[in-house]
Chains A and B, each alone.
Chain A
Amino acid sequence: MSDLITIRMYNTGFGDSFLLTFPADRPRKVLIDCGMHQFGPGPFPAGEVVDQILADVDEPDGPRIDIVVATHRHRDHVSGFEHKSWDKVRVAEVWMPWTEHPTDPEARSIRERQSSLAQRLCLAIQQLNLDAAERDYRFAFAQNNLSNAEAMTTLHEGFKDVKRRRFLPHKNGKRTAIQPACLPGVEIHALGPSRDPKVIRDMKPPEGESYLRVTAEDGRMLSQPSPFPASPGWTRGEFDALLKELDCQELLNGFSAKTAAGISSEGVVDEMAIATSLETAVNGTSLVLMFRMGKAHLLFPGDAQWGTWREILDDTECHPMLRRTSFYKVGHHGSHNATPPEFVETFLPKGALAMIPTRPMTRWPFIPKAALLTALTKYGVEFARSDEPPSAPSRFTCQERNGKTFSVTVEIPV
């Protein structure tokens, strides 16, 4: 029996996909996420990556995964599950954040709010009067939030022989470690998403019909009826004449037609700002898992945001295990706000290893955030990116295909 945990990060471009292999009587496997972003695909087609995963988990009697984890419902984390081939994979347990619980009322309200906003957002963006490239970009950005029905169906109903689906953390049981039968010798702490109402609030993007409807017609609702049926209002010319009649033309002093146009455009809701807050809200539902086996501590925070992180960092019970982190999956493709500087500076120990699933994006120059990479190096954390072969010599090994990085692997001693 080997005493190493293997972590394999597949290069899915702007997306996450990790296969963990734990030593036991037979190697036990945990798959964390499988997805790629519409706007930032990796160098290999999604199907090819999925096929490789299936090959990697193959056993004499067919492919078998002990636990499948979907950290949150963003496409760049789950889109791979829409493939038909998952039907033949035996999975003992499927883990999702509690916000995916089918019947929990709070979870449903969060999901409904997120997905109805995503739908309206996509509709609104399609109707925008923009050049095609810009519209496609915005659409892809918003679409990342659309609940990916096929992939979610796989997670909720698919796979073969699923014994249990867990929605974590359990109510009131947050700090209790889970010791799943299918993963002997491993203890797992679900540290997020939070159930604290204050943090949950951040998972709910603003709701309300009023919010988006406006953008559909480029900020104007000229076809809308006047809110005052008896007073339809006057055009500028008519109003000028009216003021003359009332002898109060100075009412319009300094209020040029241009100022008026400016006021009209100030009211326009910026759909990208809404898309951003929705993106953040969905990231906020990320399942945060700490796997413990022997002295190995593997932290997979999904794309957890500030609220969840704050709660974890403020909880002194979490501090000892955070300080022993031996592997860290860098949150949200290396963005500045998915890894608190405080975590790198005071918790992540020297000698820890990290992996960043990412790729450079011309539109998003701050992914991955240079300051974060510098800080990791400064605090003695060795890391590998999914899109580049690790700098030699390194504890990471890289599997290439057609001259491009296909995956990166690392072994963590137990």
Chain B
Amino acid sequence: MRASSYPFPTRRSLKIFAFDPMLGRVPLHRITIDVTHEQLRPGPMGSRLTILDYDGVRGRYYEPVNLDDPALLLQDGLDPTEADPRFHQQMVYAVAMKVIENFEVALGRRIHFYRRKPLLLLPHAFAGANAYYSSRRQAILFGYFSADAAKPGSNIPGQNVFSCLSQDIIAHEVTHAIVDRLRRFFKWPTNPDMLAFHEGFADIVAIFQHFSFPEILNHAIQETHGDLRRPTPLIELAAQFGQATGKGEALRTALDRPDAAASNNILEPHQRGSILVAAVFDGFFTTFQSRIQDLLRLASGGTGRLPEGYLHPDLVNRLAQEARATAQAVLRMCIRAFDYLPPVDVTFGDYLRALVTADYELNPDDRSGLRRNMVEAFRVRGIYPHGVRSLAEDSLLWERFDAGATCPDYVISELNNRLLSEAASSSRSSTRDQVAEEKLGRREEKTLNYLARELRKKAWESFDKLDLASPHTVRTNLVSMHPVFRIGQDGQLLVETVIQFVQERRRSKSSYGGVAMRGGSTVIAQADGRIRYVISKPLDSTDLRPEKAREGKEREMRFESFLRDFDCTDACQIWRDERYHQERLVRGLTLAMVDRRGAG
């Protein structure tokens, strides 16, 4: 006889600071969130994340928390505290998992990091007022520091401030890691939008994650009388952090004064990214406003103007529900757009087009008006896609591909393999075999290289239709391919494939400060291999149709002028040698550098 087993839990609850320890002094700001349940080893070590608490400042290791210990399971983990490094590990794990989950729900597939290895997070890696994602190490390093002696804000002078206890900073950095996984060339800037996109997108994820905490949201709605644009921690980023570094206010907020000229003048990636954040938040807010009109009328005897004083708790609940649902829709829309982004040289305008196309594919009639509001919010900030004649919906949509090319059979059969392994891996959540996962990860990589070779060898005749130069003239890589699932309007499951090709002009690195001139296409195909969209950034090549080659030429010129602008602002070059000069763009303008500098 065997005893019957219990159903495997699907969620794990963990306590965290909703924002950071400074705001966490208010009991309300200590909350419990739930994330996908998986078996964890001490660390925590899970399938996507490993938290290793090595203190790089002191060269010491802190004891790893065991979240699967029955004592912790019974009380949703440790209570929020600054004093126990094990709580720090727990919070980093919980928030990072929440971000990964948000991406997985929106994209409809699992996120795997490099070769299916877990991402490494070091909660106390260095001394400094920042945190950063290192692509080379596949790790996120969090710093800690003493609050400014002269202007500590609401902290005590000299008090230790931990970046790993800021919900926003964790979410921001994990988003960098995921974006880097989805589009690995976005971290090498070839235009002023690229790093700004990385930064802005990371802030968007961090801010909209606030809206998933019901207690916080209800409180904010009562406080602001339903006007979510009034300043609350809800729409601000990293309050403690900003105050502790002497800034006297939160690091960044979701609000701005829209200025159509701003996108020409602001080049620092965080500030430029803030334009994107403000545009998305504006789109959210307008949609939220229109969704609650009826509630406001009901609650105000038809005037739509709420009376002074406290709001009725039922009304607060309903408003919060609407806010949460809208925020959720916005976040999903923002993340889903990824599959429709070109593989290289992305601009804010491309992102707007991807946003519109992805959402159109999912819900063509835009009943909530979210898509329309989003386009308007981008417009007032001067963000227009390149080469689009109007901001009408059908000109914003990426053009449908009608050149009639299909993916070759061997590509389709590999996709089928991936489908199966994907389906299998999602049912494996209870018992995890990391060794097998990593083996699979390596195999996937080999297959991509093999397919790229095959495509080259068999000289797939469709390359030019995909706006790609002949693989004999430029280095051509297949950087990723994955299946996407979505439910069509008729309720049927649609399976699509997203493939990214990237081409690199040889020996172009030294002339562009260390970043190669790349082109590429994101190809979206149906399950039968029929191609639906080709989202391309062509190279200047005689293999291509003249208008595409011209587009490539224009891109090259834009890259050159971007480099020139960078040179004008980069004072480091004066004091450095020839080698720095050749690699100035990759050394002077990396995500880590930007995040390190940006804290100030």
Whether B460 is near chain A, meaning CB under 8 Å from some CB there, is no
State whether B58 touches A224 (Cβ < 8 A).
yes
State whether B56 touches A337 (Cβ < 8 A).
no
CA distance A93 to B41 in the complex (A): 74
Select which of A226, A238, A263 is within 8 A of B125 by beta carbon: A263
Stretch binding the partner chain, chosen from A84-92, A157-165, A229-237, A389-397? A229-237
State whether B569 touches A248 (Cβ < 8 A).
no
Known: A141-B575, A227-B160. A222 touches B59 (CB 8 A): yes
Measured CB to CB, the closest approach of chain B to A106, in angstroms, equals 14
Interface string of B433-461 (1 = CB under 8 A from A): 01000000000000000000000000000
Contacts of B83 in A (CB 8 A): 228-230
Contacts of A279 in B (CB 8 A): 571, 575
State whether B85 touches A248 (Cβ < 8 A).
no
* Contacting residues of chain B (223-237) with chain A, CB-CB under 8 angstroms: none
Known: A234-B62, A264-B59. A248 touches B41 (CB 8 A): yes
State whether B60 touches A336 (Cβ < 8 A).
no
Select which of B55, B56, B245 is within 8 A of A210 by beta carbon: B245
The residue of chain A having its C-beta at the shortest distance from the C-beta of B66 within the complex is: A246
Whether B385 is near chain A, meaning CB under 8 Å from some CB there, is no
Stretch binding the partner chain, chosen from A27-35, A58-66, A96-104, A362-370? A362-370
Measured CB to CB, the closest approach of chain A to B433, in angstroms, equals 13
Measured CB to CB, the closest approach of chain B to A294, in angstroms, equals 33
State whether A230 touches B84 (Cβ < 8 A).
yes
The residue of chain A having its C-beta at the shortest distance from the C-beta of B122 within the complex is: A263
A interface bracket (residues with beta carbon within 8 Å of B): 35 or more
Select which of A210, A242, A248, A365 is within 8 A of B45 by beta carbon: A248
State whether A366 touches B581 (Cβ < 8 A).
yes
* Contacting residues of chain A (256-293) with chain B, CB-CB under 8 angstroms: 259-260, 263-264, 266-269, 272-273, 276-277, 279-280, 283
Select which of B144, B597, B600 is within 8 A of A227 by beta carbon: B144
State whether B61 touches A239 (Cβ < 8 A).
yes
Measured CB to CB, the closest approach of chain A to B471, in angstroms, equals 34
CA distance A341 to B265 in the complex (A): 17
CA distance A239 to B61 in the complex (A): 6
CA distance A329 to B320 in the complex (A): 61
CA distance A222 to B83 in the complex (A): 19
Interface string of A59-89 (1 = CB under 8 A from B): 0000000000000000000000000000000
Interface string of A116-150 (1 = CB under 8 A from B): 00000000000000000000000001000000000
Interface string of A199-217 (1 = CB under 8 A from B): 0000001111111011000
CA distance A324 to B272 in the complex (A): 35
Instruction: Count chain A CB atoms within 10 A of each CB in B43, B126, B578 and give the residue with the most.
Output: B126
Whether B369 is near chain A, meaning CB under 8 Å from some CB there, is no
Contacts of A269 in B (CB 8 A): 128
Contacts of A276 in B (CB 8 A): 571-572, 575
Contacts of B158 in A (CB 8 A): 209
* Contacting residues of chain B (18-73) with chain A, CB-CB under 8 angstroms: 41-43, 45, 50, 52, 54-64, 66
State whether A364 touches B575 (Cβ < 8 A).
yes
Whether B314 is near chain A, meaning CB under 8 Å from some CB there, is no
Whether B490 is near chain A, meaning CB under 8 Å from some CB there, is no
Contacts of A366 in B (CB 8 A): 573-574, 576, 581
State whether A255 touches B143 (Cβ < 8 A).
no
Measured CB to CB, the closest approach of chain B to A151, in angstroms, equals 23
Measured CB to CB, the closest approach of chain A to B482, in angstroms, equals 26
CA distance A246 to B63 in the complex (A): 10
Whether A21 is near chain B, meaning CB under 8 Å from some CB there, is no
Measured CB to CB, the closest approach of chain B to A69, in angstroms, equals 23
State whether A263 touches B141 (Cβ < 8 A).
yes
Select which of A231, A255, A263, A306 is within 8 A of B569 by beta carbon: A306
Measured CB to CB, the closest approach of chain A to B42, in angstroms, equals 5
Measured CB to CB, the closest approach of chain B to A41, in angstroms, equals 18
Interface string of A309-327 (1 = CB under 8 A from B): 1100010000000000000
Known: A227-B160, A337-B569. A365 touches B60 (CB 8 A): no
Measured CB to CB, the closest approach of chain B to A305, in angstroms, equals 7
* Contacting residues of chain B (134-160) with chain A, CB-CB under 8 angstroms: 134, 137, 141, 143-150, 158, 160
State whether B128 touches A224 (Cβ < 8 A).
no
Measured CB to CB, the closest approach of chain B to A346, in angstroms, equals 14
Instruction: Count chain B CB atoms within 10 A of each CB in A224, A231, A259 and give the residue with the most.
Output: A231
State whether B63 touches A266 (Cβ < 8 A).
no
State whether B60 touches A267 (Cβ < 8 A).
no
Instruction: Count chain B CB atoms within 10 A of each CB in A206, A252, A266, A364 and give the residue with the most.
Output: A266
The residue of chain B having its C-beta at the shortest distance from the C-beta of A339 within the complex is: B568
* Contacting residues of chain A (365-380) with chain B, CB-CB under 8 angstroms: 365-367
Measured CB to CB, the closest approach of chain A to B124, in angstroms, equals 7
Contacts of A228 in B (CB 8 A): 62, 83-85
Whether A335 is near chain B, meaning CB under 8 Å from some CB there, is yes
State whether B578 touches A365 (Cβ < 8 A).
yes
Contacts of B60 in A (CB 8 A): 226, 232-235
Contacts of A182 in B (CB 8 A): none
Contacts of B568 in A (CB 8 A): 306, 309, 336-337, 340-341
State whether A227 touches B573 (Cβ < 8 A).
no
Measured CB to CB, the closest approach of chain A to B259, in angstroms, equals 11
State whether A231 touches B62 (Cβ < 8 A).
yes
Select which of A207, A283, A336, A367 is within 8 A of B567 by beta carbon: A336
CA distance A273 to B590 in the complex (A): 14
Contacts of A268 in B (CB 8 A): 126
Interface string of B115-134 (1 = CB under 8 A from A): 00000101011111100001
CA distance A61 to B399 in the complex (A): 82
Interface string of B582-600 (1 = CB under 8 A from A): 0000000000000001011
CA distance A63 to B134 in the complex (A): 61
Whether B577 is near chain A, meaning CB under 8 Å from some CB there, is yes
Contacts of A209 in B (CB 8 A): 145-150, 158
Contacts of B145 in A (CB 8 A): 208-210
Contacts of B366 in A (CB 8 A): none
CA distance A239 to B160 in the complex (A): 24
CA distance A306 to B147 in the complex (A): 32
State whether A248 touches B245 (Cβ < 8 A).
no
CA distance A222 to B576 in the complex (A): 31
Whether A221 is near chain B, meaning CB under 8 Å from some CB there, is yes
State whether A207 touches B41 (Cβ < 8 A).
no
Whether B382 is near chain A, meaning CB under 8 Å from some CB there, is no
Measured CB to CB, the closest approach of chain A to B587, in angstroms, equals 11
Whether A404 is near chain B, meaning CB under 8 Å from some CB there, is no
Select which of A210, A226, A232 is within 8 A of B128 by beta carbon: A210
Select which of A213, A242, A277 is within 8 A of B571 by beta carbon: A277
State whether A260 touches B134 (Cβ < 8 A).
no
Measured CB to CB, the closest approach of chain A to B275, in angstroms, equals 13
Instruction: Count chain B CB atoms within 10 A of each CB in A209, A239, A268, A277 and give the residue with the most.
Output: A209
State whether B572 touches A267 (Cβ < 8 A).
no
Residues of A whose CB lies within 8 Å of any CB of B are 141, 198, 205-211, 213-214, 220-222, 224, 226-236, 238-239, 242-243, 246, 248, 250-252, 255, 259-260, 263-264, 266-269, 272-273, 276-277, 279-280, 283, 305-306, 309-310, 314, 332, 335-337, 340-341, 363-367
Residues of B whose CB lies within 8 Å of any CB of A are 41-43, 45, 50, 52, 54-64, 66, 83-85, 120, 122, 124-129, 134, 137, 141, 143-150, 158, 160, 162, 245-246, 265-266, 434, 564, 567-578, 581, 597, 599-600
With A231-B84, A366-B581 given, can you name 20 additional A-B contacts, CB distance below 8 Å? A208-B129, A208-B245, A210-B245, A211-B129, A213-B146, A221-B58, A226-B55, A229-B83, A231-B63, A233-B60, A246-B64, A252-B52, A260-B54, A263-B126, A263-B137, A276-B575, A336-B567, A336-B573, A337-B570, A365-B578
Q: Which A-B residue pairs are the 5 nearest by beta carbons?
A: A267-B126, A233-B60, A206-B600, A210-B145, A239-B61
Pairs across A and B, CB under 8 Å, 22 listed? A207-B148, A208-B129, A209-B150, A210-B148, A222-B58, A226-B58, A228-B83, A230-B83, A231-B84, A232-B60, A233-B85, A235-B59, A235-B60, A238-B61, A266-B125, A276-B572, A305-B571, A332-B574, A336-B573, A340-B568, A341-B568, A366-B574
